[in-house]
Chain A
């Protein structure tokens, strides 16, 4: 997931298991406490469910399932809500996400491109089962 960044300098850091990821600050719209997640039957494994927010739902994605990260325990989660192409998706974070800034020149490790992530994890038609295995 190393990737050279272009313009972004402000990041949001969140954690999955022992790992930490960075995502551009601009795409973060909200950080929520997870009260209750409603499962979406038939959705791929990495979508743990949906969280109702203001009468709409935000799908909650567990990157641990995507990158096969072992979790020690299921501590209190936060949901990092991203907006990608007008659509909202949530990513589970095991730590309370925080913001950092880096110089433009610095190459950031564990950087996630929200758009790429979105496209990769988007539930595809018609068979969702095959696709999510490709990601693994």
Chain B
């Protein structure tokens, strides 16, 4: 029942607003006279208040609000004269509502009885459409209870979470630094020990050696004694004595330092725990009970049902299940859609229902329950159900389904066609529910919430929609993996299993694996993103995805683990990078981009796909690697070379070029000198140090034309030197010089 108490809390919060709106509205009517706008506001407010009160079963408030609603409705329709004396009645009702609210705060229930005379009076006014008798009592409002809570803008919570994540980042840095400190202390301690030992053994040894003349302290006191007659302290003695004293001091300081760093560690641990606590608490602030949404929607739907001449009751269960506020907001549309469908096309008219032997009132059950991290909402109506035969025919008519396929399909499979874009079982398109275009949009919205929607139906009996969505949008279960020394994440919901490359040694060449008698195509993640600073794979894992029965696999370098994290959107500027769902921030504060597995395997994806994947089969007369940080140079040179039937690889810097050399055979390198990460000189010297590339021609293409630049390049092992800008002729000559395009002749 704790959850019920929570619902009451929300109701109290809301009711405070409603009552204030009512009071303001009534004042306005009094001052400005009766006007449509104000009446409309009052009408809506009482309507919502009625709805909210009935969810938490405060029937007295609900029925009072209902009476007021009737009254305002009649006033709007001008069925009753706008007599200012009506305001007294309204005030009286509002006052009773306020005292009921006060009772709820105090006793958790509505205690006082409703003044039946007042109700009767309102009924009479509304029904007879005349104001028979009005008491002249001036009402003053009793004060509303003070409720121990404040409303907070969601953005504020988000910005606090933002600040918190920065704190977490800083905390993690601190914790790392703390480890450094411990190591440092350890190093100093070892050094100190050595020093101490050294000094002790030195002074012991020294003590026994005779004093040399040079270092003798010239003290006239001692000149009379021989060495054996008096223990003499020369400078070394004094020095060693002092040093060992200092060493002792240092030792003491060191042991203090150790206990200090130990204390610090435990402080950090506590801090860590508290910050985690804080984050969890903050996240729970965003969660609201789904009942608020369900009841709001059901009120709206009941109204629509009335206007359509259908009689329905709506049962809500599981209203206390909590769900992230943004999810809640996004759920509104799809739920309305599904419910509208139910009353438009599911529930029969009362006459039809009676004829069918069903209860006159149609029944819709709205059920929410929790399944792990998901919330499952079912919407069940006892209407006419969905005719799968009709669905099948229509899907075939619309060309969505071919007749042969349809024969083998199960009822449920056929039913799922109602979610396909452009499908509609009803010929007439109702603009409000957007029939036909409706359910596919519902599906899209649900998919955006990382959820699923299914439908089950028995003809003439019932239809049930089941929506399953994660409880919180902000937290997704992710697999963290590594590729080309970069960390990425992928949502685990499509992942079926993870295999190691050891079991499939040929996967890199074959690009498929044969697993559990299935042939699964494999993509290599680092190849999809050309920018690999890649050392060759040492480890390797194959992530197998299951997209509704279609299996695809992705080869990655390493798996770092699983994590629950908040996915942030990339923002409008980067949203074109639709291969990413967003990004998460690791505990170290590094961003990890969350890949969208569906996009990775979409065959027509086009982001930075290396050209050679498409062209590998063509016979080239030669292969050239262009290394330049300027994209325009790379592109223009590439176009020029490709026109000569050459295979071209490009790299942005020396490091990238080296990794390409590891994997591809190249006949010529054309490299710039000034590049980030690894410049041209270093690149050339690295290549020349590698025996495999001893004979590989390297040509420098640079805007630095001085002799000094040139000589240095040649010294390091470059075979040619060109100064930008280049033209086709110089490039052709160059290629001929290195026999790259002689093959062109045949």
Contact = CB atoms under 8 A, between A and B. Distances in A.
Interface of A: 38-43, 45, 47, 50, 52, 54-57, 59, 65, 68, 70-74, 84-89, 118, 121-129, 131-133, 136
Contacts of A74: 676
A128 B607 contact: yes
Contacts of A85: 572
Given A42-B607, A126-B578, A87 B571 contact: yes
Report, nearest first, the 10 A-B pairs whose CB atoms are least far apart: A55-B165, A123-B576, A41-B529, A42-B607, A127-B606, A125-B576, A45-B631, A54-B166, A124-B576, A87-B572
Given A88-B571, A126-B578, A39 B608 contact: no
B360 interface: no
B489 to A, nearest CB: 13
B162 A54 contact: yes
Contacts of B676: 74
B481 interface: no
Given A42-B529, A118-B573, A129-B607, A52 B631 contact: no
A71 to B, nearest CB: 7
A60 to B, nearest CB: 11
B169 A41 contact: no
21 contacts: A38-B590, A39-B486, A41-B608, A42-B607, A45-B631, A52-B589, A52-B591, A54-B162, A55-B568, A56-B162, A57-B583, A59-B574, A72-B674, A87-B573, A122-B576, A123-B573, A123-B574, A123-B577, A125-B575, A128-B576, A131-B576
A38 B593 CA distance: 10
Contacts of B585: 52, 55
B308 interface: no
A116 B486 CA distance: 32
Nearest to B485: A39
Nearest to A88: B571
Nearest to B483: A41
Given A39-B486, A87-B573, 11 more contacts: A42-B608, A45-B631, A54-B166, A55-B568, A55-B585, A59-B573, A59-B574, A70-B674, A85-B572, A123-B575, A126-B606
Contacts of B689: none
B147 to A, nearest CB: 32
Nearest to A71: B674
A58 to B, nearest CB: 9
A126 B575 CA distance: 10
A55 B631 CA distance: 31
Contacts of A122: 572-573, 576
Contact of A43 (B168, B577, B630): B577
Nearest to A86: B572
Nearest to A131: B576
Most buried by A among B165, B484, B572, B676: B572
A54 B589 contact: no
Contacts of A127: 606-607
A54 B163 contact: yes
B571 A43 contact: no
Interface residues of B, number: 43
Interface in B113-168: 161-166, 168
B573 A89 contact: yes
A42 B484 CA distance: 13
A65 B675 CA distance: 12
Contacts of A38: 486, 590-591
Contacts of A131: 576
A67 B606 CA distance: 25
Nearest to B568: A56
A78 to B, nearest CB: 16
B63 interface: no
B531 interface: yes
A126 B486 contact: no
A45 B591 CA distance: 19
A57 B577 contact: no
A123 to B, nearest CB: 3
Contacts of B570: 57
A41 B592 CA distance: 11
A12 B354 CA distance: 76
A55 B573 contact: no
Interface of B: 161-166, 168-169, 484, 486, 528-529, 531, 568, 570-580, 583, 585, 589-591, 593, 605-608, 630-632, 635, 652, 674, 676, 703
A79 to B, nearest CB: 14
A136 B632 contact: yes
Contacts of B574: 40, 43, 47, 59, 123
Nearest to A124: B576
Q: Is the interface of A mostly helix, strand, loop or mixed?
A: loop
Given A54-B162, A123-B577, A40 B593 contact: yes
Given A43-B577, A125-B575, A65 B630 contact: yes
Pick the most buried of A54, A59, A132: most chain B CB atoms within 10 A of its CB: A54
Nearest to B164: A55
A112 to B, nearest CB: 15
Contacts of B486: 38-39, 41
A133 B577 CA distance: 16
A136 B636 CA distance: 12
A88 B574 CA distance: 10
Contacts of A68: 630, 632
A56 B167 CA distance: 13
A54 B161 CA distance: 10
Contact of A128 (B164, B572, B577): B577
Nearest to A54: B166
Residue of B573, B608, B630 most packed against chain A (CB within 10 A)? B573
A132 B169 CA distance: 34
Nearest to B532: A41
Most A C-beta atoms less than 10 A away, residue of B169, B631, B703: B631
A118 B571 CA distance: 12
Contacts of A72: 674
A125 B169 contact: no
B606 A129 contact: yes
Contacts of A39: 486, 531
A92 to B, nearest CB: 11
Nearest to A132: B631
Contacts of B590: 38, 52
Contacts of B168: 55
Nearest to A123: B576
Nearest to B582: A57
Nearest to A89: B573
Contacts of A126: 576, 578, 605-606
Contacts of B164: 55
Contacts of A88: 571
B182 to A, nearest CB: 24
A125 B578 contact: yes
B631 A70 contact: no
Contacts of A121: 573
A60 B364 CA distance: 53
A122 B593 CA distance: 18
A50 B577 contact: no
Nearest to B578: A125
Nearest to B165: A55
B635 A133 contact: yes
Contacts of A129: 606-608
A127 B578 CA distance: 9
Nearest to A46: B631
Contacts of A133: 631, 635
Contact of B631 (A84, A89, A136): A136
A65 B631 contact: yes
A64 B161 CA distance: 35
Nearest to B526: A41
Contact of B593 (A41, A47, A128): A41
